[in-house]
Amino acid sequence: MAQSAEVQDLVNHKPAEKPDVQRFLVLDGMRGLAAFAVILDHVSSETLRAWFPGRYLAVDFFFVLSGFVLAHAYGQRLASGALTPLGFLKIRLIRLYPLYLLGLAIGLAFEVLSVLRGWQATALSDVAIIALLGLAFVPTPPVFNLASANLYPLNSPAWSLFFELVVNFVYALVARFLSWRVFAIGLPVAAAAVAFTVMRSSDLGPGWVWGHFDAGLARVIYGFFAGVLIYRLRSVIRIPAVPAWAAVLLLLAIFAVPTASFFWRQALDVFAAIVLMPLLVAFASGAKVNGPLARACGWLGALSYGVYVLHWPLARFVEYGLQFAGVTLPYGFLHVVLVGLVAATIAAITLRFYDEPVRRMLAGRAKKGLLSVTAGEAS
């Protein structure tokens, strides 16, 4: 009996974000650098924030890269119907949920500690409800988090993972209908939504609170499907490739462009999300590296998700540890470096001893379920 595409993927434990190591190693390395850049948005360093005022645009890079890589890994099977939307969503949940759950647990531990020590007035009953919603990957309604209205108060960066799963499922549903005409009409509409929602927001890099939920949704829809389009274009035109060093410098340059006012900062962010990040992914997709640089890119890519999803709750414990020990770091960038080292170390350890084993276990269980369904359909 032939196995379904879902079963084959689960048996092989294919990581959706890295389906072709040799072809997209540079993008892998850039994803790792972008994950570390996000730390600057959550750990205070006036110097580094001044150097990289657009650090939060890393999320737009992630969205475009996700669309590109998932189109490469699963686009053809989704378009043909060989892989069902629910099967695809199951693959994505197996990939994302284990480390998301660990980040939630670390964030919950710190939140409970904060309440018990009187650092904040949140009721433990509300914390319990927030945790239960988090277990289901559901954003927290503002009524339980009046202070910030954060979608994921126990681990703030999880907002982008929620939107990622939403757009993944939408992609699976519409993959077979994505003609060139659909892209020609849909992407400009999505780009207009990005421009409108980002420019009307009072925060930079919007999407993590209910007040600019629409901006987060617009950013992921445009970025993801721009990535899908870039992958499609590679089959019909030859996209020039930039050297690996140039791709990295361009990414850092986008993060580093200064602006004179809040309005021009927002305008630049819109331009980066709509134009610069898709172009960067397109031109960097053909870049090649070898030897030690290839290993470094692979290492950065392997740690990127763990660093991204764990750094925020870990940073809170690092700050508490420094205060408890009576240690004051003389420079903010040392605080960033410390959090980065802690996040990278924990990401490496959990990748080896938690994330990969748990994904194998979940894949094995899902495989049995899918085999049962396949057998029932064949009988």
Lowest mean pLDDT among 10-14, 114-118, 271-275: 10-14
Burial code of 225-235, b = ≥16 C-beta within 10 A, e = fewer? bbbbbbbeebe
Domain residue extents for the chain: 5-371
Average pLDDT, the chain: 90
Q: What is the pTM of this model?
A: 0.91
Q: Is the confidence at residue 36, as pLDDT, over 50?
A: yes
- First-to-last C-alpha distance (Å) of the chain: 11
Q: Among residues 108, 106, 150, which one has the least CA distance to residue 131?
A: 108
Spatial distance between the Cα atoms of 306 and 302, rounded to a whole number of angstroms = 8
Residue-level pLDDT at 319: 93
Residue-level pLDDT at 145: 72
Spatial distance between the Cα atoms of 302 and 190, rounded to a whole number of angstroms = 31
Q: What is the DSSP string of 171-237?
A: HHHHGGG--HHHHHHHHHHHHHHHHHHHHH-SSSS--SBGGGHHHHHHHHHHHHHHHHHHHHHTTTS
Residue-level pLDDT at 376: 36
Q: Which residues contact 51 (CB under 8 A, 6 or more apart)?
A: 256
Question: In terms of pLDDT, which residue wins out, 221 or 21?
Answer: 221
Spatial distance between the Cα atoms of 344 and 311, rounded to a whole number of angstroms = 8
Q: What is the DSSP string of 55-90?
A: GGGHHHHHHHHHHHHHHHHHHHHHHHTSS-HHHHHH
**Per-residue pLDDT reduced to its tens digit, 314-368:** 999 999 999 989 998 988 899 999 999 999 999 999 999 999 999 999 988 877 6
Please count the helices (runs of H) and the strands (runs of E) in the chain.
Answer: 15, 0
